[in-house]
Structure 1
Amino acid sequence: MTIGNQPLDDAGSAGLPHHRALLDGTDWASLGTARGDGGFLPAVLTRLLDPDPAVQTGALRELEPVHHQDSFYEATVPVALYVAAILARPTTSARAALPEWLGSLAWEADDECVAMGERHFNGGYLETYPELRAFRDQRPAFYRAVSPFLDHDDPAVRDAAVIAALPMTEHPDLNCHRGEVGQHARRLLATSTSRPDRGRALAVLKKWGEDIRGLETADDIGAGDRHASARNGVGGCVDEPPF
């Protein structure tokens, strides 16, 4: 991927090139997706900034080929960088959906998924998966893009940013942000009723060694027990990459 030498603008504070530099300076047709080359992507990415929220939402759905079956392709990281670069654009009405989309990538690239891949392929997983490595390497840039929304007034935007940020902090350069992100996760747990969000927030806090007593509800504990049973082979969970 090549980036044009254009000035930073709305994405500059996140250390990202301007979204137009990413769009115009990337050879999209040379990048693979699950459905062939990425020549269709510039039109789709442009629609993410359409003033009509329905058009934006539709464009986000059209990005499915760059993360088909939770896998990473040559076009995945360039698209993710573009999405990160437009998060702060005032024309972005799908404000919660975009960090949620970035978060879906981050969770599929977390250390647990890598460990599962290493077990499944008997080692050498990352070495043979450069597209996944590329995403993991860019986690600091993605974190800088979503972190301004950790205090957003809209709970949907705020929670999406928190859930996206949690796995990103596994990057060594982002470990120092775990305390701050953990506080935001605790606030999410005090207000959110989303089962997936609560499960992920609790799992990360527990992994970090934090005391989650008082944060868990009876429903959380029941869901955790069911998840543990599944991982032990009782619930049909398959410990292998989703592709």
Structure 2
Amino acid sequence: MTTSRSRTENPRLHALPHYQALLDGTDWASLETPSGPGTGEALPTALARILDPDPVTGSAAATDALRKVTHQNTIYEATVPVALYVAAILHHPAIAAGHFSHDADNPPHRPTLVKLLEWLSATAYDADDECVAHGERHCGENFLGDYEEMRAFRDLRPAIFSAVHSLLGHDNAEVRHAAFVAAIPLAEHPVLTAHRAELVGHARRLLATSTDRYNRDRVLDAMKAWGHDTSDLQNADDIAARERYVRLNAERDSWWATDGTGGYSEDPPF
């Protein structure tokens, strides 16, 4: 976390800048990344490669570029323009075309679109209301005021949501689910609360069809936070997972309650 001033101007609410304008107009070399202050010079080239017309090359480029700004759930200076860029290219033809068909001559690969949505989702969860509350408990009430990068990302949630929202009806289920899970933390922004009723419908459809543990946990948590009874939406695996999480949390709390020793010879059960 840093307190230095962001070098990317916020776009108008709900509007995303053109991806090329972001590449050309951002002072990338001055931005902080996990490697330290002023280490973002490689980002524009890495981000541009995501739009390679070959889907395998684009997918590998996405992994490489996003790795450069991802470390320990931290929002960096460079995170904000990268998030805007990722949102701005979600509907680019190079991302949308040819990424979901497989044939004998081309082995299956993870669609770049899904990777981008999952990164936006993870980043949004790293800046969600729960993270802010946790930061305020441990760092003081001015946590968000001091954490300018997180605050800047949170201000941009409506613009990012606008790009993610249109993918909720995508033909590919993996994309639909990734888009919905990304939409959940983005929709915490006050101007997006009106979308909750619509998102509940998507939540029910995901829970009726998906077996992905991570997605189901995120959606069930969201439904509960929105005040919905989820008892009729959970299956046996959901209940077993919840019981396991409760047990692990209790063991963790017990470990910390004994000053981090508790007679254990191993690491705490995180």
Q: Say yes or no: TM over 0.5.
A: yes
Q: Counterpart of 1:52?
A: 54
Task: Tell whether 2:90 aligns with 1:87.
Answer: yes
From the superposition, tell whether residues 136 and 236 of structure 1 become closer, same or farther in structure 2 (CA, over 3 Å).
farther
Amino acid at match of 2:69: V
Residues 1-150 of structure 1 aligned to structure 2 (within 5 Å): 1-2=7-8, 15-36=15-36, 37-62=39-64, 63-92=66-95, 93=99, 94-150=112-168
1:228 & 1:132 partners in 2: Cα distance?
A: 29
Task: Tell whether 2:196 aligns with 1:178.
Answer: yes
Q: Given the two structures, how large is their TM-score scaled by the length of structure 2?
A: 0.80
C-alpha deviation, 1:200, in angstroms: 0.5
2:255 & 2:85 partners in 1: Cα distance?
A: 34
Q: Given the two structures, how large is their TM-score scaled by the length of structure 1?
A: 0.89
1:234 & 1:27 partners in 2: Cα distance?
A: 43
Amino acid at match of 2:137: R
Cα pair 1:230 1:237 within 8 Å, conserved: no
Amino acid at match of 1:35: S
Task: Tell whether 2:208 aligns with 1:205.
Answer: no
From the superposition, tell whether residues 129 and 152 of structure 1 become closer, same or farther in structure 2 (CA, over 3 Å).
same
1:195 & 1:127 partners in 2: Cα distance?
A: 34
Task: Tell whether 2:186 aligns with 1:168.
Answer: yes
Cα pair 2:90 2:116 within 8 Å, conserved: yes
Q: Counterpart of 1:8?
A: none
C-alpha deviation, 1:88, in angstroms: 0.4
Q: Counterpart of 1:221?
A: 239
From the superposition, tell whether residues 83 and 231 of structure 1 become closer, same or farther in structure 2 (CA, over 3 Å).
same
Give the gaps of 5 or more residues in structure 2. 1-6, 100-111, 257-270
The percent of aligned pairs where both chains have the same amino acid is: 52
Amino acid at match of 1:33: T
From the superposition, tell whether residues 236 and 128 of structure 1 become closer, same or farther in structure 2 (CA, over 3 Å).
farther
Post-superposition CA distance 1:2-57 (Å, at most 9, x none): 57xxxxxxxx9x62111111110111001110114100001111011011222222
Matched position secondary structure for 2:132: helix
From the superposition, tell whether residues 178 and 237 of structure 1 become closer, same or farther in structure 2 (CA, over 3 Å).
farther
Matched position secondary structure for 2:51: coil
Amino acid at match of 1:34: P
1:197 & 1:134 partners in 2: Cα distance?
A: 26
C-alpha deviation, 1:235, in angstroms: 7.5
Amino acid at match of 2:90: L
Matched position secondary structure for 1:150: coil
In terms of Rg, which structure is larger? 2
1:164 & 1:178 partners in 2: Cα distance?
A: 13
1:67 & 1:117 partners in 2: Cα distance?
A: 19
Give the gaps of 5 or more residues in structure 1. 4-11, 239-243
Report which stretch shifted further, 125-134 or 196-205.
125-134
Please provide the CA RMSD for this pair: 2.1
Cα pair 1:231 1:237 within 8 Å, conserved: no
Cα pair 2:8 2:81 within 8 Å, conserved: no
1:118 & 1:231 partners in 2: Cα distance?
A: 21
Report which stretch shifted further, 66-75 or 220-229.
220-229
Cα pair 1:95 1:157 within 8 Å, conserved: yes
Q: How many residues in Structure 1 have an aligned counterpart in Structure 2?
A: 230
1:64 & 1:236 partners in 2: Cα distance?
A: 35
C-alpha deviation, 1:99, in angstroms: 1.1
